[in-house]
Amino acid sequence: MKALSRIKLTMPLMLLIALPFVVKAQDPRLQLSSLDHLAGKANETVDVNIDERLMKMAAKLFSDKDADEREVKKLIEGLKGVYVKSFEFDSEGQYTAADVETIRSQLRRPGWTRMVNVMSKKDGNCEVYLLFNGDQIGGLAVLVAEDKELTVVNIVGPVDLDKLAQLEGQLGVPELGIEKTKKNNEK
Amino acid sequence: MKDDYLWDKSGQPDPEIQKLEEILGTLRYQPKPLELPEDLPVSRRRNYFPLLAIAASLLLALVAAGIWLRVRNQSAPQPDQAKVSTPSPVEKKPPERISPTPVAPKDVIAVNNKHRHKPVAPALSKREREEALAAKEQLMIALRLTTEKLSLIHRKTQNTTPANQIKNQHRVG
């Protein structure tokens, strides 16, 4: 009888302790800091860290009059963060499978669903993951691991994939040269 | 002798008083309606001065506020100038390459200048606005990169043979 009451007392306590781990398991934010050491080896690095606060501030600067900016504004409404790490190397073998695994292991957590996985010996691997909160998308992750390039994109929040697809070629951002460089190297 | 006559016209009047009454009685008040002359000019003009003064004060206050806001916006330093002056190793590289720094590269700033000159929400302070501009640039880079990668993946899924393409819609977690 005494043991039963003790269990009754400890159960809520254990649930309270376990709660952060459960929440962590469904965290749409990926920890990308494990890739930071690659910046020293990379020829080119893109590192974007925009949290919810910055997202809201940036959203204020998008004009409603400009069609492109209006589209971007609509897309980022409700997003809680955008995190990107992209490394481009001069030569192959600058990053290891373990580096990719640190990201992929996070994407094996409950909630994440791999939507696309393209494996190619020639071009490397490309994966797209979505985090579902019920029927709604709670996050997006894109992992591109090529011979001379490693890119991880993590968008936290309800991503509208249709709107994202519509933005292609409409953003007023100049070419970053990633694809261009790659094509030149292939030549 | 009683003075009641002088008080309330009762009692025996004094002949001297009566005589005085007769003399001064011609000057007594005679009630009659007010008669205005026909040719009296009638002015219907109201005094608008207080209303005009209030309107002028409001207009002056609005103009002053407008000038103040304009001067305040113009005096705020352009954040892109600060960014350009930041030394970046990318500047030595060919312009079509991306920046090795986490901040937006120089060529991005040059193209995005059209966004800078747009009026910024006055709710943001100077520091916040600089922060927001940097965030906006980073956001645009991130979205550009994301759409590029998704497009690349899309192309690959279109081009790859079924043997290479691994089961879409595969649940991991």
> How far is the alpha carbon of A25 from chain B, nearest alpha carbon, in Å?
10
> How far is the alpha carbon of B87 from chain A, nearest alpha carbon, in Å?
16
At B127, is the pLDDT very low, low, confident or very high (cuts 50, 70, 90)? confident
Percentage, residues of chain B above pLDDT 90: 14
Arithmetic mean of pLDDT over chain A? 80
CA distance B78 to B113: 10
A85-109 as b/e: b if 16+ CB within 10 A: bbbbbeeeebbeeebbebbbebbeb
Distances in Å between the alpha carbon of B49 and those of B42, B46, B52, B61, B63? 20, 9, 5, 18, 21
B32 assigned to some structural domain: no
Contacts of B135 (CB under 8 A, 6+ apart): A50, A54, A55, A57, A58
For residues A17-35, give the mean pLDDT: 70
Torsions phi, psi for B148 (to 5 deg): -65, -45
Instruction: Tell me, letter by letter, the H, E, C secondary structure of A37-78.
Output: HHHHCCCEEEEEEEEHHHHHHHHHHCCCCCHHHHHHHHHHCC
Q: Give me the domain span that covers residue B99.
A: 75-159
B24 assigned to some structural domain: no
Predicted local confidence at residue B158, as pLDDT: 77
> B92, B114, B141: which to substitute to probe chain A, counting the most A Cβ within 10 Å?
B141
CA distance B9 to A133: 107
Contact B143, A72 (CB under 8 A): yes
* Cross-strand pairs, A132: A137
- Spatial CA neighbour of A39 closest among A80, A85, A79, A74: A85
Bigger pLDDT: B113 vs A91: A91
At A131, is the pLDDT very low, low, confident or very high (cuts 50, 70, 90)? very high
B8 assigned to some structural domain: no
- Provide the sign of the torsion angle of the four alpha carbons B10, B13, B14, B16, taken in this order: positive
Count how many domains chain B has: 1
For residues B118-140, give the mean pLDDT: 77
Contacts of A42 (CB under 8 A, 6+ apart): A87, A88, A89, A94, B100
Phi-psi region of A154 (alpha: psi -120 to 50; beta: other; left: phi over 0): beta
Contact A21, A110 (CB under 8 A): no
Q: Which residues of B touch A42 (CB under 8 A)?
A: 100
Q: Is the pTM of this model over 0.80?
A: no
Q: Is B9 helix (H, G, I), strand (E, B) or coil?
A: coil
At A27, is the pLDDT very low, low, confident or very high (cuts 50, 70, 90)? confident
Reported as a single tens digit per residue, the pLDDT across B27-47 is 988 888 888 888 877 776 778
Contact between A116 and B157 using a beta-carbon 8 Å cutoff: yes
- Spatial CA neighbour of A151 closest among B57, B161, B122, B144: B144
Contact between B172 and A129 using a beta-carbon 8 Å cutoff: yes
Computed on alpha carbons and rounded to an integer, the radius of gyration of chain A in Å comes to: 20
Is the pLDDT confidence value at B91 over 60?
Answer: no
CA distance A104 to A32: 11
Domain boundaries, chain A: 2-186
Partner residue opposite A113 with nearest CB, options B136, B153, B172: B172
Reported as a single tens digit per residue, the pLDDT across B100-111 is 444 444 343 333
Contact A77, A83 (CB under 8 A): no
